[in-house]
Amino acid sequence: MGVVATTTAGTVEGRRDGALVVFKGIPYAAAPSGALRMQAPVPVAGWDGVRPALEYSAAPPQLPLTPGTPPLWRPADGLDCLSVNVWTPGGAGDRLPVMVWIHGGGWKSGSSGDPAHDGAILARGGVVLVTFNYRVGFEGFGFVPGAPANRGFLDQTAALCWVHDNIAAFGGDPDNVTLFGESGGGLSIAALLTAPGARGLFRRAIVQSPAARLLHQDESGRIAEIIAAALGVKVAELATQTPLALLSVQDEPLAAMEADPGAWTTPEAITAFTPVIDGITVVDKPWLALGSGVARDIDLISGSTHDEFTLFALGRGLIQPSASTMLKGLPTFARMAARGLRRNGLPPTPRRSRLRTVDVASTAAHLGLPPSAPAAYRAAYPGVTDAQLYTVMYSDAMFRMPAIWLAEAHTAAGGRSHVYDFTWASPALGGILGACHVADIPATLGNTDSPLASFVLGGPRPPESLLRLSEQLRASWISFATTGDPGWPEFTPAQSLTRIWNSEPTVAVNPLAASRQIWQELSGH
């Protein structure tokens, strides 16, 4: 039986799912096509009658996992992708806490329609849960002469405006909105904390594994030049190229970035489409921008997984499971590929081969650390291999330290912060991943049967320890969204009290002290 809600653009019909009502594919902006392509989002035209909101909209343009696997987006799907989805246990006038999830995917992939991002389980905890699409890849973050930078971030702000203006009709409280998101979604939220256009649109923020990848505008222009050359056109003609044409060369800049990492401000060439510091949507590195105090009235949780970079080290051949584990794991990877898991930003299927070696001194230089850094890391982490040290250093540079810097800056400016370290170690592939990047997503949203969960949890049946952890973490996030209290003490630079998310959560004092000291002394971030 359908249930209707009235938005500023018209009436929509959702579907009842037990105690919830679910609305999918509600447009929050017009399709970014034709004259609107590569431009800032504009309001969607209103409609008469009742519009069905029963299915997800098209995903943003992006490539399929591998040739021959089902694509998440096809050219025939078009560009009408700017939509929101709502799971609600209430109705108009209930003023329930609102939680808005921003997905990651390296700013070149991802969709709110991914089963890993389903909002039903969290919503059943008593909140209105919202997810949405935003433009990714060149459509969302590529340099186009005369067009705004960070169009994907402008989409995010437009989606938050939709929430502010409409969520009361779905039972939500527009004055009690909490943003939460992981990786690219986490950095998106970190930037939104100080973005002028997002001011007043949310009250609390949960930043999970913020991907510390930001470009200067001239670097974005250089990336566009490489893409234009690959297509045989001028940069000024990129906006007229089809989405599929742009996708076909989207990774061309990565070779140049990997060949000369010192010429780029990003520490690792994972994706060429990184947010640009434009002074408008991204006013500065978020951990620096927060120093102004502009976000001091927003409560913050910031944290990371303990072994962030093992997943990427696996894809680069720096770590490998044992031969017997690999034989057991390969069918799982094959299933993941068939179901398009790489749209979550995961590396390709690992293959059994000789392990790559790394030069720790070069790694330190790539990260902008001085020549003394390798010795400092070896002293802080005795007994680890060079590959393990590489993983620790990149985990610090790209995720762990930025999460702490956000809390430090926010606290120093008068804000309330809480810090966590997600340490639950995945049993997948013999345990070599540890608490890897994206391992916290199934725990956060409770979707333990998605393709992503199958991989990071080590199989189709989640361990009991993860189920207990997920229940506790979700209760904490909902408590924070409701009252501002996640259930552990506030962060202060002196004590750095940190929630350790494991099967039995605890609180520790400054668990990443060694890495924090190295970065404070050697880089000043």
Indicate whether 116 belongs to any domain: yes
Indicate whether 79 belongs to any domain: yes
Residue among 308, 418, 450, 496 flagged as catalytic: 308
What confidence tens digit (pLDDT) does each residue in 108-142 have? 999 999 999 999 999 999 999 999 999 999 999 99
- pLDDT at 72 (0 to 100): 86
**Confidence class for position 348, pLDDT limits 50, 70, 90:** very low
- Is 418 labeled as catalytic in the residue annotation? no
Number of domains present in the structure of the chain: 2
Mean pLDDT (the chain) is: 90
Instruction: Provide mean pLDDT across the span 333-350.
Output: 40
Output the CA torsion sign for 189, 101, 349, 432: positive
Is 60 exceeded by the pLDDT of residue 103?
Answer: yes
- pLDDT at 264 (0 to 100): 83
* CA angle, 369 then 370 then 375, to 5°: 95
What confidence tens digit (pLDDT) does each residue in 378-402 have? 999 999 999 999 999 999 999 999 9
Percent helix, strand and coil across the chain, each rounded to 5?
Answer: 40, 15, 45
Is 70 exceeded by the pLDDT of residue 330?
Answer: no
Residue among 83, 183, 426, 515 flagged as catalytic: 183
- pLDDT at 523 (0 to 100): 54
Are residues 358 and 280 both part of a single domain? no
Q: Is the separation of the CB atoms in 386 and 506 below 8 Å?
A: no
What confidence tens digit (pLDDT) does each residue in 241-294 have? 999 999 999 999 998 888 887 788 776 667 888 899 999 999 999 999 999 999
Is 70 exceeded by the pLDDT of residue 322?
Answer: no
What is the maximal distance between C-alpha atoms in the chain? 68
User: What's the rounded Cα separation, in Å, for the pair 477 and 411?
Assistant: 20
- pLDDT at 1 (0 to 100): 59
Are residues 142 and 27 both part of a single domain? yes
Q: Is the separation of the CB atoms in 191 and 213 below 8 Å?
A: no
Instruction: Provide mean pLDDT across the span 78-100.
Output: 97
Indicate whether 44 belongs to any domain: yes
Q: What is the DSSP string of 12-53?
A: EEEEEETTEEEEEEEESS----GGGTTS---PPPP-SSEEE-
What confidence tens digit (pLDDT) does each residue in 396-416 have? 999 999 999 999 999 999 999
Are residues 142 and 58 both part of a single domain? yes
What residues pair up with 497 in beta bridges, in sequence order? 509
Between strands 11-17 and 20-27, the pairing is antiparallel
- pLDDT at 344 (0 to 100): 39
Are residues 422 and 280 both part of a single domain? no
CATH number at residue 400: 3.40.50.1820
Of 278, 332, 294, 523, the residue nearest 414 (C-alpha): 294
Are residues 335 and 202 both part of a single domain? no
Instruction: Provide mean pLDDT across the span 372-376.
Output: 93
Report the SS3 class of residue 307: coil
Angle between helix 401-412 and helix 184-192 axes, rounded to 10 deg: 20
Which has more confidence, 352 or 240? 240
Quick one: what percent of the chain has pLDDT higher than 90?
Answer: 77
Are residues 317 and 444 both part of a single domain? yes
Indicate whether 252 belongs to any domain: no
For residue 33, CA distances in Å to 80, 241, 393, 396 come to 8, 12, 42, 39
- pLDDT at 461 (0 to 100): 86
What residues pair up with 132 in beta bridges, in sequence order? 84
- Is 117 labeled as catalytic in the residue annotation? no
Q: Is the separation of the CB atoms in 345 and 377 below 8 Å?
A: no
Is 60 exceeded by the pLDDT of residue 213?
Answer: yes
Indicate whether 223 belongs to any domain: no
Helix ranges, 339-424 (H): 360-366, 373-380, 386-395, 401-412
- pLDDT at 337 (0 to 100): 37
- pLDDT at 64 (0 to 100): 74
- Is 308 labeled as catalytic in the residue annotation? yes
Indicate whether 241 belongs to any domain: no
User: What's the rounded Cα separation, in Å, for the pair 209 and 397?
Assistant: 11
User: What's the rounded Cα separation, in Å, for the pair 30 and 43?
Assistant: 6
User: What's the rounded Cα separation, in Å, for the pair 257 and 169?
Assistant: 47
Of 123, 40, 38, the residue nearest 87 (C-alpha): 123
Quick one: what percent of the chain has pLDDT higher than 70?
Answer: 91
Are residues 280 and 318 both part of a single domain? no
What confidence tens digit (pLDDT) does each residue in 13-30 have? 999 999 999 999 999 999
Indicate whether 113 belongs to any domain: yes
Phi, psi of 464 (to 5 degrees): -60, -35
Are residues 87 and 159 both part of a single domain? yes
> What torsion, rounded to 10 degrees, do the Cα atoms 230, 235, 239, 242 define?
-10
Q: What is the DSSP string of 457-524?
A: TTSSS--HHHHHHHHHHHHHHHHHHHHS--SSPPP-TTT-EEEEESSS-EEEE-TTHHHHHHHHHHT-
Are residues 279 and 357 both part of a single domain? no
- pLDDT at 352 (0 to 100): 45
**Confidence class for position 319, pLDDT limits 50, 70, 90:** confident
CA distance from start to end of the chain: 55
Is 50 exceeded by the pLDDT of residue 67?
Answer: yes
What confidence tens digit (pLDDT) does each residue in 447-495 have? 999 888 988 888 888 899 999 999 999 999 999 999 999 999 999 988 8
- pLDDT at 331 (0 to 100): 39
- Tell me the two tokens of residue 194: 């100080």
Q: Which domain holds residue 373?
A: 310-522
User: What's the rounded Cα separation, in Å, for the pair 395 and 353?
Assistant: 24
Instruction: Provide mean pLDDT across the span 86-103.
Output: 97
Residue among 117, 306, 437, 525 flagged as catalytic: 437
Instruction: Provide mean pLDDT across the span 327-354.
Output: 42
Indicate whether 184 belongs to any domain: no
- pLDDT at 263 (0 to 100): 81
Are residues 279 and 376 both part of a single domain? no
What residues pair up with 463 in beta bridges, in sequence order? none
- pLDDT at 508 (0 to 100): 97
Are residues 470 and 326 both part of a single domain? yes
- Tell me the two tokens of residue 461: 């049946």
Are residues 401 and 465 both part of a single domain? yes
User: What's the rounded Cα separation, in Å, for the pair 213 and 258?
Assistant: 14
